[in-house]
Amino acid sequence: MSKIVILTGAGISAESGIETFRAEDGLWAQHRVEDVATPEGFARNPELVVSFYNARRKQAAEVSPNAAHKALARLEQLYAGQVIVVTQNVDDLHEKGGSQNVMHMHGALKSALCAACDHRWPAPMVMAPGDICPKCSAPAARPDIVWFGEMPYEMDAIFDHLAEADIFAAIGTSGNVYPAAGFVAEARSNGAHTIELNLERSAVGNQFAEHRTGPATRTVTDWVDELLGAKTPTRPGFR
């Protein structure tokens, strides 16, 4: 059975109301990455970092999955092969939209991590610096987010999936951050058909065999309908 590996980025959640990172009014226009998304920033000012993620956790709890999230869940449910979603996003909109095979390579807002013993537990809506770890009782709780300079999660499993992918799709990601930006090259080298669904060409757009341009709620829905045979294919790559 054929296998589809799908990488998603902030763009798939944009139409749900969550701002992306690198848009002109995006998160990195409002906050310095080194202040809120690095271990050094957390050590320097844990209150600032914890409140940044508290605000994002609250926002993520208030928004809903959009048609693109739901289309991927439909694909996972109805496609005869295997569908894996590897997301850079830390919101839970894929799960709320019905996806089950979701790998959060950059962590998740709904998870808390103990910096002392590596224990993970469901994060409270509001975390505070020095929260106690329920397992080792150290005052070492932190957001379970992969910060710049830290190793993304599940990389071995992700590369195993890329080795077996027949189709690799990247949805709503700018291709600026590795290792995720290198997945298309990995999938191509393993013979996968590669497709980018985005408002515009990403930084690695030239490495994709196929592009679908437009908002994810339209392009992803159309793409999934074609894969499920509900629509006649409009482009090569769907035989």
190, 162 Cβ separation under 8 angstroms = yes
Catalytic entry in 106, 119, 193, 211: 106
Residue 151 beta carbon to ligand APR: minimum distance, rounded to whole angstroms: 13
In whole angstroms, give the CA distance from residue 165 to residue 191.
8
- Beta strand 120-122 with 107-114 is antiparallel
Considering only CA atoms, give the Rg of the chain: 18
Q: Please, which residue, 133 or 197, has the CB nearer to ligand APR? A: 197
**Residues 84-113 contacting ligand APR, CB under 6 A:** 88, 106
Q: Is 176 in the site for ligand APR (CB under 6 A)?
A: yes
For ligand APR, which residue of 16, 99, 194, 202 counts as binding (CB under 6 A)?
202
Q: Which one-letter amino acid corresponds to residue 178? A: Y
Q: Of the candidates 225, 206, 209, which has an alpha carbon nearest to the alpha carbon of residue 217?
A: 225
User: Could you say whether residue 198 binds ligand APR (CB under 6 A)?
Assistant: yes
Closest CB 63 distance from ligand APR, rounded Å? 14
Amino acid identity of 239? R
| From 52-60, 131-139, 167-175, 228-236, span contacting ligand APR (CB under 6 A) | 167-175
Interface with ligand APR, residue 221, by CB under 6 A: no
Of 3, 4, 5, 11, which lies in the binding site for ligand APR, with binding defined by CB under 6 A? Answer: 11
- Per-residue three-class SS string for 68-104: HHHHHHHHHHHCCCEEEEEECCCCCHHHHCCCCCEEE
Does residue 131 bind ligand APR (CB under 6 A)?
Answer: no
Note whether 21 binds ligand APR by CB under 6 A: yes
Across the beta sheet with 210-213, what order do the strands follow? Answer: 102-104, 82-87, 3-8, 167-171, 193-198, 210-213
Q: Closest distance between ligand APR and the C-beta of residue 174, in Å?
A: 3
Question: Which span (11-19, 52-60, 115-123, 132-140) binds ligand APR, by CB under 6 A?
Answer: 11-19
20 binds ligand APR (CB under 6 A): yes
User: Which of 192, 216, 224, 227 lies at the binding interface for ligand APR (CB under 6 A)?
Assistant: 216
Q: Which DSSP helix (H) or strand (E) runs through 224?
A: helix 216-227
Check: CB of residue 145 under 8 Å from CB of residue 109: yes
Q: Helices (H) and strands (E) in the chain — how many of each?
A: 10, 9
Of 42 and 133, CB closest to ligand APR: 42
Q: Is 65 in the site for ligand APR (CB under 6 A)?
A: no
| Whole-angstrom distance, CA of residue 155 vs CA of residue 165 | 15
| 211 flagged as catalytic | no
Binding site for ligand APR (CB under 6 A): 9-11, 14-15, 20-23, 26, 88, 106, 172-174, 176-177, 198-200, 202, 215-216
Catalytic residues: 106
